[in-house]
Structure 1
Amino acid sequence: MDKQATNETTLPVTVREPGPGEDRDELVRLLFGDAAASAKRPEEYEARYPRRPLPKGAMVTRYAPSPTGFMHIGGIFVSLINKRLSVQSEGVFFLRLEDTDVKRAIPGALDTIVDSLARFDLSPQEGVLRAPAKEGGGPEARGEFIQQGSYGPYIQTERVEIYRDYAIDLIRRGFAYPCFCTVEELDAIRQEQMALTVKPGYHGRWAKWRDAPLARVKDALASGTPFVLRLRAPDDVSGRVEWKDGVKGVISMPVNDLDTILLKSDGIPTYHFAHAVDDHLMRTTHVIRGDEWISSMPLHLQLFRVLGFKPVEYAHVPPIQKLDRVEETDPETGEQKVSDARRKLSKRKDPEANIEYYREIGVPETATIEYLLNIANSAFEDWRKANPDKPYSAFPLKLNKLAPGGALSDLVKLKSVSQAVVSRMSAEEVYTQGLDWARAYDRELAALMERDPEYTKRALGIERGGKKSNKRIVTWPDLRPQLFFFYDELYDGLQSFDFPENVPEADRSAVLKQMLDAFDPADSKEAWFEKVRQIGVTLGYAGEVKQYKASPESWKGHVGDVSMVVRVAICGTRNSPDLAEVMTVLGEQRVRARLARFL
């Protein structure tokens, strides 16, 4: 067994004893031709990608999606955890594009990934980024894609030479070999294994090319048969592999027993091989990903070991789940039984799997992030209550405190979080983010908001700020019912007005006539309300609600009914923020016109 010098990120490199007549250098030359002579050695890559100069304990994390479709809410969830942990520890968060599955790649998917991360304030410090848009390009202009950082390329199809060189090294050390099995031969192997009820796959005696002599390889190459490169599974597959997962604790599983493909016939690596090489050379410290990858851990740990890499720290987070109502019939009694079954959010079945759903229903991005933090760590909810004015980024997220079990998608909770987030926003923030949504989903409202931005901001500023900040806006579609009465075009389109039933039309006209005569825009809230009270009293309405409740038979109603008449006349709805503040924003001319409309 040969060894090479090790450092904190490498392990002793082992070499399998060659078999009789085995010439690995000749095998490499046959398989890779001239590239074999120019292939770099692992130590050259170690020098090219040195350890990162970061503080002790700094976490280097990544989000490594494939460009195969829309951005799943799980992608934002995992990116959030990765970025928060890296930023908290003064580390690095980078984006790597894992585009080795060329057949499944979708045009525009990279735009979706990069722009989605930016929308949720999760842009990486390194990797695939979008450059700033050129000046004069308009509001929809976007910059070109760039790769930023010293550990690239950050797109896997641009790293093919690196994977090839590591594959050559594995062949030389006896841990990889070419396999020339055709599709028909692999299918025959599967059929035989099914007939024998044994584990399917390329392993054991079915790994027909594992120890093939050089002459047989030469014949296959001469015939033009394409080949893949496979990893040699351990000779002893009876053992187990154990590791400490950052979320789930200690996990033990049987060792990998399959001769897995490393390089496909076109030279493109599989995910398993590429991620091991990339995460080592990019000096990733923690791979935080969905727990669907736990089943691959024996293979991944074997790859790190045979490549001579110290394994990264792995942490597997559970998926966001959904309850399905399942109806079953008892075969004996015929009784119908209903139960709830958990399942992972489905791209096909569940609209909330797609992050565009959250934008469409008008949930601010910050609210979606805080909702996901609630899912990641239940302690966030209490922290938020104790720290209402701090940004979510001040919450100390800890890897070992992440919930090990899958949380349920809860749209009621999502909207509750959204309401709280919007209530903490300034009028400027509500205007900017609400307008962005309206431009896409309510163009009529957007045009009105943009016509006079300062007027709209004053309207949005009513009851905003303080402990009792306006919580009328839950999601952005609530902007229309909260703003429509500030725009004459929308107010004038009302067909009916919901005046209090206990105020007859004659009293209603009297209230509005006296209010029109008494209205003074210089009045304070208190002075204005006192006028409403006096108008009501002269018409037989109690000046205090408690007066009315004490002797309802003595009064037509109370001051609340009188003020509601004024509210409905001016706003067209019973639901509006502080009416005195509303009238101040509307202005004297508009207020008088609306009162006069009913006279």
Structure 2
Amino acid sequence: MEKQETPGANAEDREALIRLLYGDEGTSAKTPAAYEALYPPRSLPDGAMVTRYAPSPTGFMHIGGIFVSLINKRLSVQSKGVFYLRLEDTDVKRSIPGALDTIVDALGRYGLDPDEGVLRAADGTFTQQGAYGPYVQTERASIYRAYAIDLIRRGLAYPCFATVEELDAIREEQTALKAKPGYHGRWARWRDASVAKVEEALARKQPFVIRLRAPDDPNGRIEWKDGVKGTISMPVNDVDHVLLKSDGIPTYHLAHAVDDHLMRTTHVIRGDEWMSSMPFHLQLFRYLGFKAPNYAHVPPIQKLDRVEETDAESGETKVTDSRRKLSKRHDPEANVDYYYEAGVPEAGTIEYLLNIANSAFEDWRRANPAKPYTDFPLKLNKLASGGALSDLVKLKNISQGVVARMSAEDVYAQGLRWAKRFDAPLAALMEQHADYTLRALAIERAGAKNKRIVTWPDLRPQLGYFYDELYDALDTHDFPENVPTEDRAPLLRQILDTYDPADGKDAWFDRIRAVSSANGYAADVKVHKADPSAYKGHVGDVSQVLRVALCGTRNTPDLREVMAVMGLDRVRARLSRFLGPT
């Protein structure tokens, strides 16, 4: 793209201005052409997408960050491109120690590791990998300055020495006149300042910023095709925004434009809160002589607030629903750690987000239950353009399906990792009895039949009764009320006497039927229903007595499989406590 130049001060004055502002560094700094050579176009297949996640280290990891990273990562992988992580830390005052750890670890936990950029090394330290670094913006100050100097040289940027008090006065005047706020038009008093005036301000040691000169017609419009929202038209930017702050650090706007160009980003996929900046960003790319990347703005995950208002006169209550973006301050599910602590497997959270990104994912998953989510063909133009609501019920349903499709080994590994952090006593038992635990987790796992584990906290109630350490601590057993206390011991003794671990499912249940029938309980539930007065109960009641005696709970998977995993010695020991004197 051909570089623009604004008429006005002559070339000599512009060079003089650069020398005043930056001394010899201004004239000896690398030129944009040198950086173009240093960061050449990437050698990638046609159609390859170079995407990025570029967070600021300002706090916890928002679920929206994982959402956007997921889209960027999947599109780059599908197209045989590159996904990189860039740290946008130019807002130094808001940077929080440890935030980079949070970002990098969250991406790794969710399988969204970047191909290049800021990465975690094997020894746990941070490293930068790739030919287009540094990937930390505070380490790229000289690059941004070179481009800002080039803009000054071409009359497209200028130093502004306006004080805080002067800027406040401008805002007050604009408010009173109901004028558009910002540094523009007749309020942009330093736009055409002479070299002499700049020299005087520097002699007084006044701090300055570098602003973009925005000569576009304020009545004009700019149009572009957004990858998610389609063709968008907005008023052009006519505000002289700051490019370099008084400390020489760039604003997000200049830094992102320079970085996305030099890192050869093809697609900028980000939250739609940046839509309002598009006229300025596209203007920046044009002034810098860059081809703008393809922009796509995804909507935020939203929360539904229900508001009740009572009419003062009628006393009637009106209920209204309003949508808002998930709030870091008010909504725990805005924090990625919420999902981790809640025990949602990472793949469950990812599939939940894919469902938000593209509603077609749900049908795809239904048709492809055994395939990894990475096989789903995510398409930019099929992303939802409207904000989806946070739905924690949906999240749990998806999580349940994800866990059901896991192998016992995966359930063990992922569940143990969670338990080590949030349920250390359970983790100790899982590790102490690893093989036993694996066999317990394998019950009903073939064909994704076992849907008892929705999130990892469900491991304790689903595994707890297998461990003698937890079973022995039970002080009550919830036996079915319709089986008299005096019947329990005879039923359990006869079941134990006839139990054969080698029995298949049908043979095992036939023995339970026989014991039931011998003690006045119907061997078939339907028979009992047809004439309940003829029986004490039915075979299901007898099975429940056995289940509670063995496990201390009425809720277990297939009882025959449970007994097989427990083994004959454990089954005999547990039932013996309910048999009484022989």
Please state if 1:537 is matched with 2:527. no
How far apart, in 2, do the equivalents of 1:331 and 1:13 lie? 63
Please tell me whether the aligned partners of residues 92 and 125 of structure 1 are also in contact (alpha carbons under 8 angstroms). Answer: yes
Partner of 2:371: 390
Identify the match of residue 477 of structure 1 among 431, 434, 457: 457
Cα gap change, 1:106 to 1:21, in 2 (>3 Å) = closer
Q: Which amino acid aligns with 2:190?
A: W
State whether residues 28 and 172 of structure 1, in contact with CA within 8 Å, keep that contact through their aligned partners in structure 2.
Answer: yes
- Distance across 2 between alignment mates of 1:566 and 1:19: 94
Q: Contact 1:22–1:213 at 8 Å: present in 2 too?
A: no
Q: Percent identity?
A: 73
Provide the aligned length of Structure 1 versus Structure 2.
Answer: 579
Calculate the TM-score normalised by the size of structure 1: 0.95
- Going from structure 1 to structure 2, the CA distance change for 1:235 and 1:523 (only over 3 Å counts) comes to closer
Q: Distance in 1 between matches of 2:508 and 2:164?
A: 85
1:138 alignment counterpart: none
User: Is residue 423–residue 471 contact of structure 1 (8 Å, CA) maintained in 2?
Assistant: yes
Q: What secondary structure is seen at the aligned counterpart in 2 of 1:30?
A: helix
Q: How many Å separate the matches in 2 of 1:586 and 1:45?
A: 68
Match of 2:533 among 553, 561, 580: 553
AA at the equivalent of 2:82? V
> Secondary structure in 2 aligned to 1:230?
strand
For residue 277 of structure 1, what is the aligned residue in structure 2?
258
The answer for the alignment partner of 1:25 in structure 2 is 15
1:188 and 2:178 correspond: no
Please tell me whether the aligned partners of residues 161 and 207 of structure 2 are also in contact (alpha carbons under 8 angstroms).
yes
User: Deviation digits for residues 258-313 of structure 1, max 9, x if unmatched?
Assistant: 10000000100000010000000000000000000000000000000000001110
Q: How does 1:505-516 map to 2 (within 5 A)?
A: 505-516=485-496
The equivalent of 1:241 in structure 2 is 222
Distance of aligned partners of 1:149 and 1:504 in 2 relative to their CA distance in 1, 3 Å threshold = same
On the 8 A contact 1:95/1:154 being kept in 2, the answer is yes
Structure 2 gap ranges (5+): none
Aligned partner of 1:153 in structure 2 is: 134
Matches within 5 A, 1:384-533: 384-466=365-447, 468-533=448-513
Instruction: Give the structure 1 partner of residue 104 of structure 2.
Output: 114
- Of 300, 317, 331 in structure 2, the residue corresponding to residue 336 of structure 1 is 317
Aligned residue in 2 for 1:92:
82
Does the 8 A contact of 1:22 with 1:214 survive in 2? no
Per-residue displacement from partner, 1:8-59 (whole Å, max 9, x unpaired)?
A: xxx1111112337971001001101121122122221111111111111110
Amino acid paired to 1:397: L
Q: Which moved more, 1:299-308 or 1:193-202?
A: 193-202
CA spacing shift, 1:235–1:567, aligned 2, 3 Å: closer
Aligned-pair distance for 1:327? 2.1
User: Relative to structure 2, which stretch is displaced further, 405-414 or 566-575?
Assistant: 566-575
Q: What is the one-letter code of the residue matched to 2:299?
A: P
Write the letter of the residue equivalent to 1:48: L
| Preserved CA contact (<8 Å) 1:482 1:576 | yes
- Cα distance in 2 for partners of 1:520, 1:584 equals 10
SS in structure 1 opposite 2:522?
Answer: coil
How far apart, in 1, do the equivalents of 2:136 and 2:465 lie?
52
Following superposition, the deviation at residue 334 of structure 1 comes to 4.6
Residue matched to 1:7: none
Contiguous gaps of at least 5 residues in structure 1: 1-10, 134-142
1:55 is the counterpart of 2:36: no
Deviation at 1:526, TM superposition (A): 2.3
Shift of 1:482: 0.4
Displacement of 1:196 in angstroms is 1.5
What secondary structure, in the 3-state scheme, does the structure 1 residue paired with 2:446 have? Answer: coil
Q: Which amino acid aligns with 1:441?
A: F
TM-score of the aligned structures, taking structure 2 as reference length? 0.98
Kindly state the Cα deviation for residue 84 of structure 1 after the two structures are TM-superposed: 0.2
The amino acid that maps onto 1:548 is: H
Distance 1:442 1:30 in 2: 64
Query: Any idea what SS the aligned residue of 1:482 has?
Result: helix
Separation in 2, partners of 1:336, 1:412: 28
2:558 is matched with 578
Question: In structure 1, how many angstroms separate the alpha carbons of the residues matched to 2:506 and 2:320?
Answer: 57
CA deviations on 1:129-184 (whole Å, 9 max, x unpaired) are 01113xxxxxxxxx211111100110000000000000000000000000001111
Q: Secondary structure at the match of 2:445?
A: coil
| Alpha-carbon distance change, 21 to 99 in structure 1, aligned in 2, over 3 angstroms | closer
**Aligned: 1:218 with 2:208:** no
CA distance in 2, matches of 1:237, 1:287: 26
Amino acid aligned to 1:463: E
> Alpha-carbon deviation of 1:87?
0.3
Q: Secondary structure at the match of 1:97?
A: coil
